[in-house]
A and B are shown apart, each in its own frame.
Chain A
Amino acid sequence: MTEITTFESAEQRISQLYLEYFTRLNEEAPDFLRKDRDQAIKAFQRMGIPDRRNENYKYTDLTKLFAQENFHRAFTPTSFDFDMQEVFTCDVPEFDTHLLFHVNGWYFNQNQTDQFPKGTIIKSMKKALLEDAALVSQYYGKIADASGDSMVALNSAFAQDGIFIYIPDHVIIEKPIQIINLLRSEEDLYVTQRNLVLVGKNAQVKLMFCDHTLAVYSYIANYLTEVHMAEDAVVDIYGIQNQHNGTAYLNGLFVRQERNSQLITNTISLHGGITRNHLQVDLHGEHANAALYGLSLTDKDQHCDNFTSIVHAQPDCHSNQIFKNVLDDNSTGAFTGRIHVMPGAKKTEAYQRNNSVLLTKAAKMSTKPQLVIDNDDVKCSHGATVGQINEEALFYLQTRGINEKEARLMLMFAFAHEVLSNIRVEPLRQSIDRLVNKRLRGEISRCHDCKLECIR
């Protein structure tokens, strides 16, 4: 029997957890990480769990979630006696990728035999912290600032594992690297995952993160990925979230781009309970280019918040954001798009658009552009629309013999398509097209052919 302690607040409970596990967390950890963790937990204690008064969390109040949870922490890797390929078959078929797994935030390397170009490192973060400490310490925690965001702080304090990817200069990884993050347990679980991706000069890589739940328990998943792109690097990041309604998904993606680097991100939130995608891009070198796309499909009581922040620190950079939401039933959505053009960032081009379709009167969307422009030589635009399905278009399709249900689906799919068309890996684009189509038809009860019925 576990002793039940009552804490006055979630902050206290979490601080206590940190103290309890401090030794285990810091076993074998390099010095810099211990220091980082200590600073992070102090920052968390100072800031607390964000509520609506926090401008950045205005649309996603986390206090209720954290007040109610007393989930088990995945402080140790979950042991498995099954073959991953047997339990989990990805619904992106015949799609050739380098396949990697995480289970409950822990890197799970099973029969991984893929060959990568010389010098490339793809391994568990825990292992990298031991074996490549000199390299990792130069970049770890350098973009995601624990002192400014509670969820970053929590991740930084508790993270133990994740993936470390290092692509040397001039290396091109042809096949996408697919990272499947699974949640599977016998009880409610809080999971932390920390990833670091270093892409060298003129190097190229495509990353695909697939987030799933494989059990009916409740989850809080606090994931954080930092990506450093050196000069002329080209990186595609595709995120596909397909988790059950009992999942709170707090996902951070922090990218720093040097000169001439090209970034595309595509954040597809297909299914999840509470979702917050925090995307931050620092355009840190001239002529860097970032394109951020996002699509969220919500129904029932789901909530999806896309929070973006683009910092134009250098001249001649270009950023473009298109985020779309389709909201059904009582679901809620939010988009906050921050663009900061720094004083020296002349000839900046920064565009942003958020379009949402509400399918019911009860669905609700909040959208907020935030442009801070400290420079007069810029082209910036932002736009937001919240509307219903275009009735004229619906009638037009019906007069051609297409029934109302099908016509509505065609229009919703068309609406989503603008985002999906930016996926540069053709088989992936087709597969996601199919998934989105299925989701819009309400046919996703399980997103993949896993043997567990976990959607609830």
Chain B
Amino acid sequence: MLIIKDLHASVEGKEILRGINLTINAGEVHAIMGPNGSGKSTLANVLAGNTNYEVTKGEVTFNGKDLLSLSADVRAKEGLFLSFQYPVEIPGVSMINFLKTAVNESRKYHQLKELSAGDFLKVMREKKEMVQIDSQLTNRSVNEGFSGGEKKKNEIFQMAMLEPKLAILDETDSGLDIDALRIVANGVNLLKKPDNATIVVTHYQRLLDYIVPDFVHVLFKGQIVKSAGKELVFELEEKGYDWIKKELGE
């Protein structure tokens, strides 16, 4: 589904990613862990098409297409989804208008008929129940005045509405209390299908107790320095990131 080859990226002239190689297949859950500043969020943003980051080298193939040549909105329509670490508040843009536009833009792209207002509301009700988001939130402006937990739930709700092929969850656990974390993780698990994949970007192991990864990668100084199965999570939890640094002779 996703093949990343020797990906280098920089922001404001500073190189953050220094040769990422990663392959993700349908049905898999990958965790990307690493200390602060290792490049986790940069990777998520580069894949989503944030133009603040400059790709200096490498290639990324997404379902056979050259991902890096596509604009952010086309990447989304092709089935890539980024759950933001810090979801943006957009006063004045109603949740309903926003989601309806997003869903229908994608349907148009795939040459499907746009959803009618009635059908859209029906789908929205179903997904709201699925991810247990407060019903009132969809009557407000996008993320405006939402609590930290509500914002993260809203990301998962949008994911449910858009049904991506590949979801990248960037630090979805940061700032979440344990109840909200369970709800968010539960939503992600319910959305898991054999034909989609998930990348969970996180600093801590806690989220991975709920969203169990098939593969775990440790990102350090812009490179994947270690890849293994879910047992790596426990090892990291036990020994901390210093253990990786030591292993690397830092």
State the A residues within 8 Å of B (CB).
390-393, 395-404, 406-407, 410-411, 413-418
Contact = CB atoms under 8 A, between A and B. Distances in A.
B165 to A, nearest CB: 13
A403 B71 contact: yes
Interface string B153-169: 00000100010000000
A379 B102 CA distance: 43
Contacts of A417: 92
B50 interface: yes
A93 B73 CA distance: 35
A400 B164 CA distance: 10
Nearest to B143: A396
11 contacts: A396-B90, A397-B90, A397-B98, A400-B98, A401-B77, A401-B106, A402-B73, A403-B105, A413-B92, A416-B92, A418-B91
B201 interface: no
Which residue of B75, B77, B81, B98 has the most chain A CB atoms within 10 A of its CB atom?
B98
Contacts of A411: 90, 93
A402 to B, nearest CB: 6
Q: What does DSSP make chain A's interface, helix, strand, loop or mixed?
A: helix
Contacts of B93: 397, 410-411, 413-414
A407 B142 CA distance: 13
Q: How large is the interface on B (under 10, 10 to 19, 20 to 34, 35 or more residues)?
A: 20 to 34
Interface in B108-143: 109, 141-142
A393 B105 contact: no
Contacts of B87: 396
B101 A406 contact: yes
B84 interface: yes
Contacts of B141: 414
Contacts of B91: 414, 418
A401 B88 contact: no
Contacts of B158: 400
B46 interface: no
Given A411-B90, A411-B93, A414-B91, A399 B105 contact: no
A400 B90 contact: no
B76 interface: yes
A416 B101 CA distance: 19
Nearest to B77: A401
A398 B88 contact: no
B162 A400 contact: yes
Contacts of B76: 398-401
B88 A393 contact: yes
B101 A402 contact: yes
A63 B106 CA distance: 53
* Nearest 9 CB-CB pairings of A with B: A414-B92, A401-B76, A398-B72, A400-B102, A417-B92, A396-B88, A414-B93, A398-B73, A401-B106
Contact of A418 (B75, B92, B101): B92
Contacts of A399: 48-49, 72-73, 75-76, 81-82, 84
Contacts of A403: 71, 73, 105
B137 to A, nearest CB: 16
Contacts of A407: 73
A415 B92 contact: yes
Contact of A396 (B52, B75, B84, B97): B84
Interface of B: 48-52, 71-73, 75-77, 81-82, 84, 87-93, 97-98, 101-102, 105-106, 109, 141-142, 158, 162
Contacts of B48: 399
A417 B98 CA distance: 14
A406 B91 CA distance: 16
A414 B142 CA distance: 11
Contacts of B71: 398, 403-404
A390 B142 CA distance: 14
A97 B101 CA distance: 33
A400 B100 CA distance: 11
Nearest to B83: A399
A404 B98 CA distance: 14
Contacts of A397: 90, 93, 98, 102
B72 A414 contact: no
Contacts of B142: 396
Given A396-B88, A399-B48, A415-B92, 19 more contacts: A390-B88, A390-B90, A393-B88, A396-B87, A397-B93, A398-B73, A399-B72, A400-B76, A400-B102, A401-B73, A401-B105, A401-B109, A403-B73, A411-B90, A411-B93, A413-B93, A414-B90, A417-B92, A418-B92
A395 B98 CA distance: 13
A297 to B, nearest CB: 15
A114 to B, nearest CB: 36
Contacts of B102: 397, 400-402
A401 B162 contact: yes
A34 to B, nearest CB: 51
Contacts of A413: 92-93
B88 A392 contact: yes
A404 B88 contact: no
A16 to B, nearest CB: 51
Nearest to A421: B92
A392 B90 CA distance: 10
A416 B81 CA distance: 29
Contacts of A392: 88
